[in-house]
Amino acid sequence: MVHKPVMLNEVIKYLNIQPKAKIIDATLNGGGHTRGILEKYQDVKVLGIEYDPDIFQEFKSESLNPKLESRIIIVNDSYINLRSIVEKYNFRPDGIIFDLGLSSWHYEKSGRGFSFMRDEPLDMRFNPGDKTRTAADVINTVPEEEIEEILRLYGEEGFFKEISKNIVKARKIKPIIKTTELVDVIMNSVPGWYKRKKIHPATKTFQALRIAVNGELENVENGVLMAIDVLKSGGRLIVISFQGLEDKIVREIFKQKAIAGTIKWVIKGTVKPKWSEIKENPRARSAKMKIVEKTA
- 155 and 208 assigned to the same domain: yes
In a domain, 1, yes or no: no
Q: Please tell me whether residues 88 and 225 are part of one structural domain.
A: yes
Q: Which of residues 172, 196, 214 is at a domain's end?
A: 214
Whether residue 208 is found in the same domain as residue 275? no
Q: Pick from 214, 233, 249: which residue ends a domain?
A: 214
* 97 & 36 share domain: yes
- Mark whether 71 and 88 lie in a shared domain: yes
Range of the domain at 159: 112-214
**Per-residue tens of pLDDT for the chain, all 296 residues:** 445 789 999 999 999 999 999 999 999 988 899 999 999 999 999 999 999 998 898 888 776 777 788 899 999 999 999 999 999 999 999 999 999 977 777 888 888 999 999 999 999 999 998 778 999 999 999 999 999 999 999 999 999 999 999 999 999 999 999 999 999 999 999 999 999 999 999 999 999 999 999 999 999 999 999 999 999 999 999 999 999 999 999 999 999 999 999 999 999 989 999 999 999 888 888 999 999 999 97
Same domain, 208 and 221: no
If asked whether residues 146 and 210 sit together in one domain, one would say yes
Answer yes or no: do 16 and 100 share one domain: yes
Residue 164 lies in a domain: yes
For the chain, the DSSP string reads ---PPTTHHHHHHHHTPPTT-EEEESS-TT-HHHHHHHHH-TT-EEEEE---HHHHHHHHHS---HHHHTTEEEE-S-GGGHHHHHHHTT---SEEEEE-SPPHHHHHT--SS--TTS--BS---S-TTT----HHHHHHHS-HHHHHHHHHHHH--TTHHHHHHHHHHHHHHS---BHHHHHHHHHTTS-HHHHTSSS-TTHHHHHHHHHHHHTHHHHHHHHHHHHHHHSPTT-EEEEEESSHHHHHHHHHHHHHHHHHTSEEEEEEEEE---HHHHHH-GGGGG-EEEEEEE--
The annotated binding site for S-adenosyl-L-methionine is made up of: 31-33, 50, 79, 99, 106
Total domain count, the chain: 2
Do 100 and 29 have their domain in common? yes
Domain match, 32 and 119 both: no
pTM, whole model, 2 decimals? 0.92
- In a shared domain, residues 34 and 94: yes
Residues 239 and 285 in one domain: yes
Q: Enumerate the known binding-site residues.
A: 31-33, 50, 79, 99, 106
Structural domain includes residue 3: no
16: domain CATH number? Answer: 3.40.50.150
Domain endpoint, select from 197, 214, 231: 214
